[in-house]
A and B are shown apart, each in its own frame.
Chain A
Amino acid sequence: MKTKRIVWRAAKTAAIFLISVLVLSLLVFVVSRLAPGDPLVAFYGERAEKLKPAERAAAEARLGLDQPILRQYALWLKGALRGEFGISYKYKMDVLEVIRARLPFTLRLGGIGFLLTFFLALGLGVLCARHEDKGLDRALCKIGTVTSCIPEFWMSLMLILIFAVSLRVLPSSGAYDVGKADDLGSRITHLILPLTVVVLGHLWYYAYMVRNKMLEEMRMDYVLLAKSKGLGRKKILYRHCLRNVLPSYLSIMAISVPHVLGGTYIVESVFSYPGLGTLSYESARYKDYNLLMVLCILSGALVIACNLLAQALSERIDPRMRAQEAIDTWEADTDG
C-alpha cells in the first residue's frame, strides 16, 4: 500500500513537472518571437543588413523562421524530444555544446555561493538571536540593512574599484588569467570578488529569517519548561530552538536555490565571468532564439524542481504542512 502511494505521488510530481516545463517552453517561445529584433543579425552579423530579399527569405527558410509561430514551436518540440535543440545562431555550435562549456563556471560560482550563504546565514541568524538587542545584534542588523540597500552591480563595481584598480591585489574580470586555464590559484583569485557579491547579496535576507524565527521559538512554552528544568541557555538554544527552526530553514533554502543561482546573472556580467548569466544576457540581446529557449527552460525547470523539492521536504518534515504554507508563515514573520 505504502509503496503504491509513493509511486503514485512520484508520478504525480513528475507529471506536474513535465506539464509546467512544457507550458513554460511554449510561453518563452512565443514571447521571444514576438519581441522585435532580427535573429539573422545574430547569425550573419553585419552582413544580415545587406542581404537581398530573396537571400533573406532563403536564409529564413533554412533556419525555419518563415513558418507560423505555432508550427515553428511544433518543429522545435519535435527536435527537443529527440535531444536536438538546434544550433546557436551566434556561436554556430550546438546549443548544448555552448551551454556545456559555460555551465561549470556558473555552478562553481552559484554553488559555492549558495553553500556559503546557507551556512553563514544560519550562523549569523543564531548569533544575532543569542545576543538579541545587544550591541552585536544591533550592529549586525544595521550592517545587514545597509548591505541590502546596495545594488549588486554597484557593490561589484566598488569591489573592483578598491581591490582591482586601487590596491591591484585581485583580478577584475574573467574566470582565469589568459593561458592559465588549469591553474587552480588563478581560478580561485578570480572567484573571490564575484563570490563576495553573490554571498553578501543574499546573506542578510536569510540571516534575518533565521534570527526572527529563532526569537519566536525562544518565546515558546517549551523553552520556559526547559529553563525551569534547569537546562543551560546554550543547550536550550541549540538542542531545542535550532532543531525546530532547521527543518523549515531547509525547505526555504531549497526554494532559494534558483534565486541564488539566478542572482549570479548580474554579477557575472559585471565581472565578465563566462557563465550562463552572461550567456543568457547575450542570447536575449542578440535574439539567439535556440539558445535563449534552452536557457529559459533550464532556469525554469530549476525553479519548478526546487519548488517541488521544497514541498516534498516540508511535507516530509511536517505532514500537515504544504511548502507554500511554510513559506507563508516565514514571510508573515518577516515581511509583515
Chain B
Amino acid sequence: MDDFTLVGARPQAPLPAQKKVPWYRGKPVAAYLVLGLIVLGCLLWSAFSKTDAGYMDLSACNLAPSRSHLFGTDTMGRDIFAMIWSGGRLSLIIGVCSTLLSTLIAVFFGSLSGCAGERLGGLLTRVNEIFISIPNLLLIVLLQAILGQASVWSLSIVIGLTSWMSIAKVVRTEVRVLRGSEYVQAARCMGGSFLHILRVHLAPNFLPSILFMVIMNVRGAMLAESTLSFLGLGLPLEVVSWGSMLSLSEKALLTGSWWMIVIPGVFLVATLLSLTEIGNAIRRSLGHSQKIL
C-alpha cells in the first residue's frame, strides 16, 4: 500500500504536542490533605497520647495560647490542643456512624419504594416528602428529648434517623430506571430475592450516584452534632467534642478569650469544607458540571 501516495494530499501535519495534564488537575488535593491531617491527628492522638484531654488544671484556667499550651486553655483549665484532637475523634465518629445509618435506611427505603408497585411506591414517596418538609433540627431535638441524656451513640442514631430522606429520593429514581433493565429482569426470573438483586445488581449501580450525597451527609451530621452540643442539647460538657467545646463560648465571650471560640471552629469549618470539596470533585467526575454548595 505504500507504493502510491495520494496526489494532492497534504503531508500530515504533526499533531500538536499534547499538553500533559498534571495528575492533580481537578482533584481536591488540598481538601484530601487537610482532611487526612485532621483524621490522622485525631487517630494518632487517641492512640499515643497519655494525657487526659478532660483533665482540669484549675491553676491554668483561661490562658491564651502560649508555648506550654499551644492553643490555650478553656475556662475549666483544660488544654485546648489536647481537646481538639480527642474531641475531633468523637465529632468524626458521629459524622461517619450517623451517615452509615442514614445511608442504610435510605438504600432500603429507596429501593423498596423504587421496586414496589405504583400505589405502594407513591405512598412511600409521600411519606418521604412529609419527612423532608419537617425542619430537621426540630425533629432531632424532639427525638433526642425522648432518648434522654445524649451520648455519642444516641446522637448518631438520632441524626441518622433524621437525615436519610434526600438520599432515599435519589435511590428511588435510580432504582426505577434500573429495575427495567434486562439483567434485573433475568435475575428476577431466576428467582433472585429482593435482597440479592439489591446487593448484586442495584447497589453497585446506584452507589456512585449517591456517593456525593453520602459525603454531604457526613458534613450535615457533623454540623448537626456541633449545633446541638453548642445549644446544650447534644453531648454534655465533660464529653469533649468540637461542638461541646464551643458550648463554653458564652463564657469565653464575656472574658474575651477568642481562642476558645476560634480554634475549635476553624477545625470544624476546615473539616466541613474539605468534605464539601471532595464531594464536589466526586460529583464533577460523574459528569455534573453544575456547581452546588
Contact = CB atoms under 8 A, between A and B. Distances in A.
Interface of A: 28, 31-32, 34-37, 141, 144-146, 148-154, 157-158, 160-161, 165, 172, 204-205, 208, 211-212, 215, 255, 258-259, 262, 265-266, 269, 281, 284-285, 296, 299-300, 303-304, 307, 324, 328, 331-336
Contacts of B78: none
A158 B265 CA distance: 9
A266 to B, nearest CB: 6
Contact of B246 (A36, A154, A307): A154
B212 A336 contact: yes
Contacts of B261: 154, 157-158, 161
Q: Which of A157, A266, A334 has the most CB of B within 10 A?
A: A157
A296 B286 CA distance: 41
Given A158-B261, A161-B258, A153 B246 contact: yes
A146 B273 contact: yes
A336 B209 contact: yes
B133 A307 contact: yes
Contacts of A204: 293
Interface of B: 129, 133-135, 137-138, 141-142, 145-146, 148, 166, 169-170, 173, 209, 212-213, 219, 223, 226-227, 230-231, 233, 246, 249, 253, 256, 258, 261-262, 265, 268-269, 272-273, 276-277, 280, 283, 286, 288, 290-293
Nearest to A334: B292
Contacts of B148: 36
B133 A303 contact: yes
B90 to A, nearest CB: 16
8 contacts: A36-B146, A151-B269, A153-B227, A154-B226, A165-B253, A266-B137, A336-B213, A336-B286
A14 B280 CA distance: 42
B137 A262 contact: yes
Contacts of A303: 133-135
A253 to B, nearest CB: 15
B272 A157 contact: no
Contact of B293 (A154, A172, A205, A299): A205
B273 to A, nearest CB: 4
A152 B288 CA distance: 28
Nearest to B146: A35
